[in-house]
Structure 1
Amino acid sequence: MNFPEDFLHYVWQFRSFDNNDLKTADGESLKIIHQGFLNKNAGPDFNNAKIQISGTIWAGNIEIHLKSSDWLKHNHQSDASYENVILHVVYENDAEIKRIDGSVLPVLELKNRIAADLILKYENLFLTLTDFPCSAQIQTVDKLIIDSFLSRTLIERFEKKTQAVIETLNELNGNWDETFYRFMARNFGFKVNALPFELFAKAIPQPIYSKHKDNAQQIEALVFGSAGFLNDKFKEEYPAKLKQEFEFLQKKYNIKPIEVSMWKFMRMRPQNFPTIRLAQFAALIIKANHMFSKIMEISGVVELRGLFENLPVNDYWKTHYHFKKDTVSVSTQIGKTSVDNILLNTVALFLFAYGKHTGTQFYISRAIRLLESLPPEENAITDKFNKAGVNMDNAFISQGILQLKKQYCDEKKCLSCNIGIKILKHA
């Protein structure tokens, strides 16, 4: 026996055992009218089951264990919530179990009723050392089943991410604009510089920009000054003017810049340097401050991409990738892949979170349509699923894959996964 109790849950739920001439351990005839519903909360494993023992119909709960003695190990004998258990389903019956009132609990032993090839198939699936358990079998599963389950995992992923959005929203007293601004800033850091971008956004709230929306240089000064890049002495006119502007604005708004040492430059292409990203971020604010209200109005992916294209980045950055460090030529616009990353991880998320929080299905549907319009992500995880035969048509599927891998494959929850269940049913 090399399987967990969850395997017996699967066997009972789908009646994947020999159902002929069922008898309890005491030799009484047993008929399963309904196996009940899997209970994922505290208490017996299956609720609202109905069985017939020697002509008498019983309705109640089912408890499942590898061994009947596990009932005692788990102290169910003193827990009143298990008094309504009508049948104890076990792999091996090694002890007589009595309820609190002294009556013997009927037992069904499955030891000789589960096909050996089903157990072997589960063990091979569960104990596999590959990147995900069903990598060798997933291509045998119908695409409709895979896509259906990925729809579920995608929703799970976005619901979990929504929790972080709502936490920040509550901190900011329900201000969706400011919440979006902070998440957008973090996204601009693209993992490596996500934290300093987030801290930078906290250092300078969005309403301050609004007071200087008609002055691009002051916006740029606020961005680079708050990010800690204007503490040096400059000979070039552009950074010197930014420094002068920021010294005034810093006193006016009591801005506390973050430590410039937090920004990471190592092993990055100049186009991805935080200085270039900050220049793009400043240009985005100049072009479209209060972005959240704008994304709520735009439905098409082309129009959404347009918000992040043709940004008015200062010409200084065409020949510099850092203050005091010039170069021949630097691309100052955000690449398409990076734009799609922002649409996926910030825009789609906020459409979903807003719809979920306000109970407005319209915005949830818009988030899903946006994901379906974006190309799938390319990373080590999606690449492995691609090689295993899973076709990823869009970001909706790839996001579902990432959640599947993290919450099901890595946790070996094959029996909570419709793909894993389908593979076992082929046994």
Structure 2
Amino acid sequence: MKEDFLHYLWKFKNFECSNLTTTSSLPITIIQSGQYLEQAGPDFFNAQLIIGNQKWAGNVEIHLKSSDWYVHHHEIDSAYDNVILHVVWEHDVEIYRADNSEIPVLELQQFVAESTIENYDSLRTAKSWIFCEKQLRSLDQFLLNNWLERLFFERLERKSVLVTVFLQQSTSDWEAVLFCLLAKNFGLNTNSDSFLELAQSIPFSIIRKESFEVENLEALFFGMAGLLDLDHQEVYSKDLKLRYAYLTSKYQLGQPIMRPLQFYKHRPDNFPTIRLAQFAMLYHQIANLFSRVVELTTMEGMYDVFRISPSNFWNTHYVLDKQSPFKSKIVSKSFIDLIVLNTIIPIRFAYNQSLGIEDTESLVQIVQSIAPEKNTIIDRFDSFGVSAQNAFQTQALLQLKKEYCDKSRCLECQIGIELIKGNSKCNLS
């Protein structure tokens, strides 16, 4: 038994409520169980109860044993003076406030259905991947879909935090924020930090001025990435090096980034050189990119914008100084899907919030039109009976696994809450 389980029981009234009594046999009626506070002080704030014939308003503290009150020294902490009920699993000692007044105690175990405890124990038994893996197939689909929708927006809120940070750093220049976010996500997981450092090392005002020549953007990107430091023999590479030297002097740019780019274990099409060349062409071809994408309402429009081919040099190269057979390096549809999910949707969500616009429906429609992501997490959910039909659902499942399953937050998860419910008359629907 853990204390967080008792928090769950009280929060959701998952126990027999009709004949509640204190340990001194006074009847208890719950009007409001209080606001759950996950911080210092009593566990539930501003509860309303009738104990005996007296109505009380105040706080509720929860412990496994009554004696924990003294173990935690609450009797000398004024924050607990307004506790009107001590909810425990096992009552082993009477407790008193600092003024020596006795605090009523509810011993919860005698009011909790055996089935609820069994469900809780079952959910916390050994797992091969997640605790509820054996019960997932039995879930009500309506409950699951509602929870996935909430999870999607949780994930979106988390991603939009970075947008807010960049916005403050760029003095509210949305185009500059998009530039940094796109750079980060063009780098994929392996090079995301390096690409972001690169983007932040070049003032966006310079990108605006130099975007008329794609070679200038490539020179800036490859130079700041430290890829032009070697003595290259290719004419194109030498030209980029000269351009970089000129631009560095012109704009008084600093040293190349500290994080080296990673090529290892990447397919050639995902080499950082290719992604930087595509990124350069994107900003060469499309001015005011943020203004363009913020108005798009379909994935077809997104594909039209981001389906970019880098300069001709890259048709026969993957790196700067080694020729390869001809192959077009156009940005793939699957890569655009990732860019939209990880960059465009979060920045539009944050932008709408900044304007006080409620436009989540159109964002959801875009995400629902994207094919489901393919990775080991989504595959495992599928093997346990939860199949994703689109990226809206895969994003939600990723949030579920990383923020709830991996952190054992079953008692905060709607799936866990539903699976633990027993036969109590006070169960919340």
1:411 shift after superposition: 1.7
1:13 shift after superposition: 3.0
Give the counterpart of 1:406 among 402, 406, 425: 402
The one-letter amino acid of 1:254's match is Q
1:148 shift after superposition: 1.3
Does the alignment pair 1:224 with 2:222?
Answer: yes
Does the alignment pair 1:22 with 2:20?
Answer: yes
Cα distance in structure 1, aligned partners of 2:385 and 2:422: 18
Does the alignment pair 1:160 with 2:138?
Answer: no
Does the alignment pair 1:425 with 2:421?
Answer: yes
User: In the alignment, which residue of structure 1 is the partner of 2:426?
Assistant: none
Cα distance in structure 2, aligned partners of 1:214 and 1:17: 69
Cα distance in structure 2, aligned partners of 1:345 and 1:50: 44
Higher mean displacement: 28-37 or 177-186: 28-37
The one-letter amino acid of 1:22's match is L
1:166 shift after superposition: 1.3
Q: CA RMSD in A?
A: 2.2
Q: Contact 1:67 / 1:91 at 8 angstroms: preserved in 2?
A: yes
> Is the alpha carbon distance of 1:328 and 1:82 closer, same or farther for their aligned partners in structure 2, counting shifts above 3 Å?
same
The one-letter amino acid of 1:212's match is E
Does the alignment pair 1:397 with 2:393?
Answer: yes
Deviations 1:170-228 (A, max 9, x none): 12222211111011111111111112211221232232232233323333333322322
The one-letter amino acid of 2:335's match is S
1:426 shift after superposition: 5.1
Q: Contact 2:197 / 2:257 at 8 angstroms: preserved in 1?
A: no
Does the alignment pair 1:317 with 2:288?
Answer: no
1:379 shift after superposition: 1.4
> Is the alpha carbon distance of 1:260 and 1:50 closer, same or farther for their aligned partners in structure 2, counting shifts above 3 Å?
closer
> Is the alpha carbon distance of 1:128 and 1:235 closer, same or farther for their aligned partners in structure 2, counting shifts above 3 Å?
same
User: In the alignment, which residue of structure 2 is the partner of 1:358?
Assistant: 355
Cα distance in structure 1, aligned partners of 2:10 and 2:221: 60
Cα distance in structure 2, aligned partners of 1:376 and 1:206: 34
Cα distance in structure 2, aligned partners of 1:108 and 1:30: 9
Cα distance in structure 1, aligned partners of 2:350 and 2:300: 22
1:33 shift after superposition: 4.3
Aligned runs of 1:61-72 on 2, under 5 Å? 61-72=59-70
Q: Contact 1:229 / 1:260 at 8 angstroms: preserved in 2?
A: no
The one-letter amino acid of 2:327's match is V
- TM-score for the superposition, normalised by structure 1: 0.92
Q: Contact 1:132 / 1:409 at 8 angstroms: preserved in 2?
A: yes
Higher mean displacement: 340-349 or 155-164: 155-164
> Is the alpha carbon distance of 1:229 and 1:113 closer, same or farther for their aligned partners in structure 2, counting shifts above 3 Å?
same
Cα distance in structure 1, aligned partners of 2:304 and 2:108: 62
Q: Contact 2:35 / 2:47 at 8 angstroms: preserved in 1?
A: yes
Cα distance in structure 2, aligned partners of 1:241 and 1:384: 49
- Unmatched runs of 5 consecutive residues or more in structure 1: none
Cα distance in structure 1, aligned partners of 2:82 and 2:295: 54
The one-letter amino acid of 1:425's match is K
- TM-score for the superposition, normalised by structure 2: 0.91
Aligned residues: 423
User: In the alignment, which residue of structure 1 is the partner of 2:332?
Assistant: 335
Cα distance in structure 2, aligned partners of 1:204 and 1:21: 69
Q: Contact 1:126 / 1:412 at 8 angstroms: preserved in 2?
A: no
Q: Contact 2:404 / 2:413 at 8 angstroms: preserved in 1?
A: yes
Higher relative contact order (CA 8 A, sep 6+): 2
Give the counterpart of 2:346 among 344, 349, 352: 349
The one-letter amino acid of 1:315's match is N
Cα distance in structure 1, aligned partners of 2:110 and 2:419: 22
Does the alignment pair 1:81 with 2:59?
Answer: no
- Unmatched runs of 5 consecutive residues or more in structure 2: 424-429
Aligned runs of 1:228-243 on 2, under 5 Å? 228-243=226-241
> Is the alpha carbon distance of 1:15 and 1:193 closer, same or farther for their aligned partners in structure 2, counting shifts above 3 Å?
closer
User: In the alignment, which residue of structure 1 is the partner of 2:411?
Assistant: 415
Q: List structure 1 segments (4+ residues) > 4 angstroms apart after TM superposition.
A: none
The one-letter amino acid of 1:360's match is I
Deviations 1:25-49 (A, max 9, x none): 1233334444344334443323343
Deviations 1:239-278 (A, max 9, x none): 2222232222221112335259811111222111111111
Aligned residues: percent identity? 39
The one-letter amino acid of 2:106's match is L
Does the alignment pair 1:285 with 2:300?
Answer: no
Q: Contact 2:219 / 2:243 at 8 angstroms: preserved in 1?
A: yes
